[in-house]
Each structure stands twice: as C-alpha cells, then as structure tokens.
C-alpha cells in the first residue's frame, strides 16, 4: 500500500512539472483533487486525510468552479502594496514578488506606479505581514508599462508563472492588489476579451499593451498587482481601467486591462539582468493623419525589416499574422507583443492597388 501511494504522489508531482504547474490526476471526486501547497517553495503535495500542515496551504485543483478562497490564501503572501512619495505628491500601487533569494527579493509592478520616484522620493513595499521595506528601482520600461523594484528581504514566497497564450475568453480569473491602498484585496471575474489594444500615458511617453480584458474589479491602486488563473498562477499584470468619469478617480465599471505575463516576462528578465529592456521593431513610421481602416505607412526606416522585405511606403497594414489591424495603435500593440527577431507576416493594401503579404523579420531597439 505504501508503494502505491508513493507512485501516485510521484506521478502527480511529475505531471505538475511537465505542464507548468497544472497538476492533473484521475479522481472520482466531483470537486477535484485536494492538495497542499508549500507556502515558501510553492511545491505541490497530495493532501492526506489529516489535511495540510500550518506551513502549507490547502487547495483544490481541477474543480469545476474557481476556488477563490484557496487561491487567495495561496497567492496573497506574494502580492505586496507599494507606496510612492515624491516632491509632486504620493500614491499607492501593487506588485508581485517575482524572484527571491536569501538576501533580496525582486518585485514586478507597473512603471506608472513608481515613475514619480525615479529622480527623487521614496518607494516603500508593505508585505502581507505588515512589515515595510525601502525599495530600489532595478529597471523600468515605459513602452510596456513594466518596472522591477527590489527590497533587501529574502526568502519570500513568489508568484507562480502561468501561460497567457493558453487562456481563453470566459475563463475565471482572480485579481489581487491594493485598490485605494486597501492591501490584499481579492476580486474575481472572467476573461472578457483577449488581444485588446490599449494605450495609456502622455504623448511621447505612451505605453502600448496587447491587453487581457477582465471584469474582475480593478480600481486605482490595483495597478501592478496580479491577475491569476484558476490554478493561482499569474497570467497578467493589472495595468489600467476604462472609466466613464470626466474628472478625478473612478471606480471599476467592469473594464480592466492586464499586461499578458508572457509579454511581460521577457521585459522583466531583461530588466533584472541588465537594468534595461528592448522592443521589437518593424521599421516604419505611420501616417498619423490617416483616418481609414488599417495603419498607413508614411515612410520606412533604412535597413530595417520592412524595407528589407519590400513593403512600400504608402501601403496600409491591414493584418499581422492574420490578426486584423484597425489603426496604428493596433499595429503598434501587435508588433510589440512579439520577441525581437520574430518572423511575422504583414498583409498590406498596396499604393498601386491590391493586397499582398510580406514576411518580415523584426529588428530590435532599446525600449524607452
């Protein structure tokens, strides 16, 4: 009997490794598989009849409905509150603990959360325990609205990364953050749409996001917090909300937007490694006066991918890898969702008439 139990646990843990943390097992229980998740290492173990120890969080995997209570207990210790104070004022936001060793921890958030403290000011990180630590900026990327900060506190629980390319509209999600400074606030909803072109920021400092749209309540202060799938894995960094307000801060109207974690991960890893990040380049300048459908090319960058592929100036981009492009924002957002060096198919309406697709290898440039 002991040998059989060992085989089940080994197979269960191997399955979790092979599919990125999604553990599956045959079970006759309608409510899924009962497991215990180590609060420090995030390792998954089958639950015994006695339940879980105090160092592990009970969770149900494979349940027909999302287990918000278990997800909150599991992930809340990995989500922090961020307070920024500068000469121009103060504000709050959220972040997720991305990496942690014995000496320090790296936290991901939005650039707009911490940008007020870039030249002067302070950034304080508050953990679930209530302990606060001064944070330093490791790096930031305005174009993707991603920033990494670090604190001198190690051995903290980290978020588990999900795969934002495998999510679908209608899936249940959970958002955790600090709206209006209210730490560890948990809300739930669904994925309302994918690949939603969203731009934020001021002229010259815009952020372009190929966003996950959700109706999980996201409010001011949630920025930088975690959007989680039904397994408690981070699939997005909450970044923006739509509002009907004509002034001041507005509450959630069910239109929240999150940066897909697959897109954010590349930027995060570059910031941690070098303090700087890169972006993919198509090699074109758009005609901002164009009001038709699609994105019109005003001119080409010499030696870049679009020119090398033979795309002419004056052409109008109508699709990228089969995804329809409505305007230049949609084109920028779609291009920036790729990794530099990717080969993409760009379909255009030619200035001389007719449609043609070109294969373009994206270049690379320092991100602003």
What pLDDT, in 10s, does the model give residues 36-59?
Answer: 888 777 778 888 888 888 888 887
- 198 or 123, which is more confident: 123
Count of Cβ atoms closer than 10 Å to residue 121 Cβ: 15
Q: Coil, helix or strand for 75?
A: helix
pLDDT at position 40: 78
Percent with pLDDT over 90 in the chain: 67
**Residue range 74-85, pLDDT digits in tens:** 999 999 999 999
What radius of gyration, in Å, describes the C-alpha atoms of the chain? 22
* Residues belonging to the active site: 112, 145, 223
Q: Looking at the predicted structure, is the pLDDT value of residue 26 above 70?
A: no
Q: Looking at the predicted structure, is the pLDDT value of residue 127 above 90?
A: yes
Residue 30, strand partner residues: none
Question: Looking at residues 273-289, what average pLDDT do you find?
Answer: 96
Which of the listed CATH numbers 2.30.42.10, 3.40.50.1950, 2.40.30.10, 3.30.360.10 matches domain 278-366? 2.30.42.10
Indicate where the chain has its CATH 2.40.10.10 domain(s): 164-264
Indicate where the chain has its CATH 2.30.42.10 domain(s): 278-366
Residue 153 CB contacts under 8 Å (≥ 6 apart), including other chains: 104, 105, 127, 131, 133
Q: In terms of Cα–Cα distance, which of 258, 238, 114 is closest to 177?
A: 238
Which CATH architecture is the domain 164-264 placed in?
Beta Barrel (2.40)
Confidence category of residue 30, pLDDT binned at 50, 70, 90: very low
């Amino acid at each position: 009997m002991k040998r059989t139990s060992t085989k089940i646990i080994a197979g269960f843990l191997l399955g979790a490794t092979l599919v990125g943390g999604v553990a599956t097992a045959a079970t006759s229980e309608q409510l899924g598989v009962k497991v215990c998740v180590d609060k420090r290492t995030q390792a998954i173990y089958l639950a015994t009849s006695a339940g879980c120890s105090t160092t592990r969080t009970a969770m149900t995997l494979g349940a027909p409905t999302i287990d918000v209570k278990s997800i909150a207990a599991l992930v809340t210790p990995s989500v922090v509150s961020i307070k920024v104070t500068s000469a121009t004022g103060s504000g709050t936001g959220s972040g997720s603990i991305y990496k942690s060793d014995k000496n320090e921890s790296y936290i991901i958030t939005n650039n707009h959360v911490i940008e007020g403290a870039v030249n002067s000011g302070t950034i304080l990180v508050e953990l679930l325990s209530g302990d606060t630590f001064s944070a330093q900026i490791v790096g930031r990327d305005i174009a993707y609205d991603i920033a990494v900060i670090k604190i001198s506190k190690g051995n903290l629980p980290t978020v588990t990364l999900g795969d934002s390319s495998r999510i679908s509209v209608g899936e249940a999600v959970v958002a955790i953050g600090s709206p209006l400074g209210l730490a560890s606030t948990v809300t739930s909803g669904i994925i309302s749409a994918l690949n939603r072109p969203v731009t934020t920021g001021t002229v010259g400092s815009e952020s372009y996001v190929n966003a996950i749209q959700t109706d999980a309540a996201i409010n001011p202060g949630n920025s930088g917090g975690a959007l989680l799938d039904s397994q408690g894995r981070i699939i997005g960094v909450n970044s923006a909300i739509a509002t009907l307000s004509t002034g001041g801060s507005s509450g959630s109207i069910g239109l929240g937007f999150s940066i897909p974690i697959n897109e954010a991960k590349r930027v995060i890893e570059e910031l941690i490694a070098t303090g700087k990040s890169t972006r993919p380049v198509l090699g074109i300048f758009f005609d901002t006066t164009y009001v038709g459908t699609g994105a019109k090319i005003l001119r080409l960058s010499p030696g870049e991918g679009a020119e090398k592929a033979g795309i002419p100036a004056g052409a109008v981009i109508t699709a990228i890898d089969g995804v329809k492009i409505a305007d230049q924002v949609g084109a920028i957002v779609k291009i920036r969702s790729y990794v530099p060096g990717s080969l993409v198919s760009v379909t255009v309406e030619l200035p001389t008439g007719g449609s043609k697709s070109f294969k373009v290898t994206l270049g690379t440039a320092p991100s602003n």
